[in-house]
Structure 1
């Protein structure tokens, strides 16, 4: 992975290029339009840094390409824009074989161990059902937050993608915070 400084610099360059492209297109300059332009260009700049290697970046590119195809193609010009825009997202993800083997072994161990009483087993089953329901709800909430998350059926992939997405969002926030700080410092000098 690249050093954080170069990642932030690359994000800033792509984001700035996207904002300049949007501004030169002569679109309306209402506050809502500017806010949308900032978000769209930041999302595409952030997704372009991943070069389509993650589901969330491909989902952001595909979603944005539908409405701002020219802008997306220009920001993605350094990487193969056509391949990323038209790249299909996976319908289903496959779980890693090692994880499947471990879970099968754990299931066999839990079913083969003798229980001291049937009431203990019933309480364990009830607690297990509650825990599974809670995990399922939280996982579904996470799928709704991550771009392309609804296509990820594998929880491990979902967590990896979430961590990568959070890291990218943190980079975006750091760059934007630096810009605000620089602007405030410049304004205070005047």
Structure 2
């Protein structure tokens, strides 16, 4: 096993360990496990790590039960035409910026492309906490002097 193969195996092990601790409660964890299990290169290794339990990811878009409030538009007579134009332009720019950032975030979170915005925020928070724990464990392992003692 060369260095690149070892690196992939360690990363896969860490990702699957992180995802399996969530017990399928989060969408990102199910997406990570499903992707690793279906991949040609990592499928066998994933089955060895996870055991025989299989996971199914139906890729349904989660629905949010939260109601979204709509803001009233500014009446041009009350706000003035020039002010109304500036407000519309600012809203359009802000909306485009939020949409771009949301698409980037959906690409970063496993399974994010199938989530609505509300679910994406919840999943992102959970995923970041799990990644932070993974980094802490990896740093501990890298700094542990006992791992480098030759017997």
Range class of TM-score, shorter chain: 0.7 to 0.9
CA contact (8 A) 1:65 1:72 kept: yes
Please state how far the C-alpha of 1:44 moved relative to its aligned partner.
0.8
Cα deviation digits, residues 34-84 of structure 1 (max 9, x gap) = 01101111111111001111111111111100233343334334xx822x2
Structure 1 segments of 4+ aligned residues over 3 angstroms from their partners? 68-71, 185-188
Deviation string 1:69-116 (CA, Å, 9 cap, x unpaired) is: 343334334xx822x2x23222x22122x433xx1xx42xx2376633
Distance 1:35 1:187, change over 3 A: closer
Q: Normalization by structure 2: what TM-score?
A: 0.86
Q: Write the distance in 2 (CA, Å) between the matches of 1:88 and 1:123.
A: 44
Q: For the Cα contact (< 8 Å) 1:44–1:61, is it kept in 2? A: yes
> 1:125, 1:112 → 2: CA distance?
9
Structure-2 change in CA distance of 1:138 and 1:112 (3 Å): closer
8 Å Cα contact 1:46/1:168 also seen in 2: yes
What is the aligned partner in structure 2 of residue 137 from structure 1?
100
Deviation per CA, 1:151-182: give whole Å up to 9, x if none: 11x11110111111111111110001111111
Cα contact 1:44–1:60 (8 A) shared by 2 = yes
| Equivalence for 2:136 | 174
Q: Deviations over 1:104-157 (max 9, x none)?
A: xx42xx2376633111111000000000000000000001111111111x1111
- Equivalents in 1 of 2:79, 2:36: separation in Å? 58
Normalised by the length of structure 1, the TM-score is 0.69
Structure 1 segment 150-161 matched on structure 2, within 5 A: 150-152=113-115, 154-161=116-123
Equivalent residue, structure 2, for 1:39 = 11
CA 1:57/1:123 → structure 2, altered by over 3 Å: closer, same or farther?
same
The DSSP-based 3-state class of the residue aligned with 1:94 is coil
Q: Select the structure that is richer in helix.
A: 1
| Structure 1 residue ranges without an equivalent (≥5) | 1-28
1:125 and 1:186 map into 2 onto residues whose CA distance is 60
